[in-house]
Chain A
Amino acid sequence: MVDAAAETVIELSGVSKVYRPGSIEVHALNNVDITIGSGEFVAITGPSGSGKSTLMHIIGCLDVPTSGRYLLAGDDVSQLDEYALADIRNLRIGFVFQQFNLLSSISAQRNVELPLVYTGIARAERRRRAAAALERVGLADRLDHKPGELSGGQQQRVAVARALVTEPALILADEPTGNLDTASTTDVLRLLGELHDSGRTIVLITHERDVAAEAERIVTMRDGKVQNDHAEQAVHS
């Protein structure tokens, strides 16, 4: 399903990441080449320790590669400093984490507002957009609830709302369903599907095969390398 005409959003060439937790080197990523076009829905899967999380962190500009080149919408991200990376994360990428990562002390609406705060958007506009995003994930009646007052599925929907509130081109979801029951998993995957349908690029990290099957393309990682990269057609209807 890779559309050759589509604009390339993510282009990794020869990307390696080496950690040095002790005296030995750990090659989390070893010479990875991946190209993801605009509007794709890609699942990155693989066993734990395969490097899929590291790959997502690099794609999400949360981490920088040890070597290799990463072009995000044509910009070479590996050369950027902390400030520029922060702006890229803020404006171009929406994150959904396995642990939800909501701030427990503030309401759902204020959690969703958070990225807009760092964009520098005025308060009234922020509130309006956060409310709209929450309505879109079906939580219009939960604006003032704190994360502790919401179920796991609802919390993850708040996190999805937070990821889409800045209208980013790229949404990165790191094991978004890892802590959810089946019904909530379906909800979240449906939301991601809707976002994809509206033209956003979605990168989904998961180790569950049936979750990965929601995507159009599955990249399988093993030992820091891309083991398999193919369009999925069997399950996707």
Chain B
Amino acid sequence: MSFIETLRTGFEAVRLHRLRSSLTVLGIMIGIAAVILTVGLGEGAQSDVRSQINALGSNLLIITPGSSTSTGGVRGGFGSASTLSVNDADALESKTVAPDIAAVAPQTSSSTSLTTTSANWTTSVTGTTPDWLSVRARKLAAGRFITAADEKSINPVVVLGSTTSQELFGNASPLNQTVTVNDVQLQVVGELAPSGSSGTTNQDDLAIVPLTVSQQRLFGGTTRSSVSTIYVEAASPSSLSGAYQEAQNELLALHNIATSTDADFTITSQQSIVSAATSVDHTLTVLLGGIAAISLLVGGIGVMNIMLVSVTERVREIGLRKALGARPNVIRSQFLVEASVLGLAGGVLGVIIGFVGTKVLPHFVSSSVTLSPTASVGAIVISIAIGLVFGVYPAVRAARLAPIDALRTE
């Protein structure tokens, strides 16, 4: 008996018992859809995190101060020390010391109230250098960014984030307006374009002033030369580890520290943030995927169940087919085909449901869902495999039936 013939018989049997077949298919369908959606959710969340972190800038290293240790030996929290200074940033800019470093942007941040004649708004006032714009991969919506001349002359200028501008000036252009910070009047020279990323912190609610203005006119104090973060941009993705080494060695030397384990600063690469953030998502995906896999297993048991019923119900038919000359392997293939047709139908429908889900679900959860073609093809292959695996036992039972016992059954 040809394979086409076996296929046709299998399809016919499935079609003949429409209700039963569709209920069985439903089980597989739900399982496959669940797997596709959880995998899609996991992948979507990971790509979200990745794009959020990539939005910080490319080839980025982030240097933060280490923890402070008081004379009594009490350690402060991460980043509580003020061990990084403008000098450190200046040193890293040297091409001879750090050839792999393309740009450096030290930054201080302080949450302060901004006032205009008609409004006030508390935001993060960030003092930094002109390189910040390129290092953080940001764009201007209007006006200009702070310049080296601003730094040098301590010009009282400010560049507003889009959210901050909106809060202070509404939809009007903030350019050439004046905002007051700690009794210092600052002229707005530019506005940042929205960053487009929706991380946990709003990247668009900030006011940028020249580092010198921040240190000498807005926030004085004893730690006026210290910075809270130094952003370092490597020359290329391949020079990232070189830049890391150079920054670490240079800072250790400047701080007179012998070994890196005693370092009073921390260098974080974007990649390490991505992997830390995605590992949480990954755990969740594995967990959800596990549950989905169990539902797929239940669907598979459903196939087995229905195939056993089918064999029992069709004992006479099996007996007749054997009496007419069907070899045991032909009977076995017939039931295997039937089971895999059920699996295939469930798989195809499950992928369709999953596809619809990836379109609908993002409206309800704050995460994108991706449906990869590989996952879809994989899901269909798996569903056929489930049909086959769970169909083997019933099929073997059918093939083993003695024709005479089968024919005798009423």
Contact = CB atoms under 8 A, between A and B. Distances in A.
Given A63-B404, A105-B12, A117-B5, A86 B326 contact: yes
17 contacts: A57-B404, A62-B323, A63-B404, A82-B328, A86-B326, A86-B328, A89-B323, A91-B325, A95-B323, A101-B316, A105-B12, A114-B321, A117-B1, A117-B5, A118-B1, A119-B325, A120-B1
Interface residues of A, number: 25
B327 A83 contact: yes
Nearest to B13: A105
B407 interface: yes
Contact of A63 (B1, B320, B402): B402
Contacts of B365: none
Contacts of B402: 63
Contacts of B16: 105
B280 interface: no
A103 B317 contact: yes
Contacts of A63: 402-404
Interface string A43-68: 00000000000000100101100000
B396 to A, nearest CB: 13
B324 A95 contact: yes
Contacts of B12: 105-106
A118 B325 contact: yes
- Residue of A86, A91, A103, A118 most packed against chain B (CB within 10 A): A86
A38 interface: no
B291 interface: no
Contacts of B7: none
A90 interface: yes
A82 B327 CA distance: 7
Nearest to B314: A103
- Residue of B322, B323, B324, B407 most packed against chain A (CB within 10 A): B324
Nearest to B5: A117
Contacts of B5: 117
Contacts of B330: 118
A162 B324 contact: yes
- Residue of B12, B16, B404 most packed against chain A (CB within 10 A): B404
Interface string A76-99: 000000110011011100010100
B319 to A, nearest CB: 8
A115 interface: yes
B70 interface: no
B259 interface: no
A97 B404 CA distance: 12
A63 B5 CA distance: 27
B325 A86 contact: yes
B2 interface: yes
A57 B327 CA distance: 17
A221 B331 CA distance: 35
A119 B2 CA distance: 10
A95 B316 CA distance: 14
Interface in B325-343: 325-330
Interface string A101-123: 10101100000001101111000
Nearest to A81: B328
B326 to A, nearest CB: 5
Nearest to A60: B323
A86 B407 contact: no
Interface in A125-159: none
Contact of B2 (A62, A87, A103, A120): A120
Contacts of A120: 1-2
A101 B407 contact: yes
Given A103-B317, A105-B12, A105-B16, A115 B404 contact: no
A83 B407 contact: no
Nearest to A162: B324
A118 B407 contact: no
A86 B404 contact: no
Contacts of B328: 82-83, 86
A103 B325 CA distance: 15
A86 B320 contact: no
Nearest to B16: A105
Contacts of A95: 323-324
A62 B403 contact: yes
- Residue of B317, B321, B325, B402 most packed against chain A (CB within 10 A): B325
Contacts of A166: 325
B407 A62 contact: yes
B7 to A, nearest CB: 12
B327 A118 contact: yes
B322 A86 contact: yes
B327 A103 contact: no
A83 B2 CA distance: 16
Contact of A87 (B325, B329, B407): B325
Contacts of A91: 325
Interface in A167-183: none
A90 B402 CA distance: 16
A185 to B, nearest CB: 22
A103 B323 CA distance: 13
A186 B328 CA distance: 37
B320 A101 contact: yes
Nearest to A122: B2
Cβ-closest 3 pairs across A and B:
A90-B325, A118-B325, A86-B327
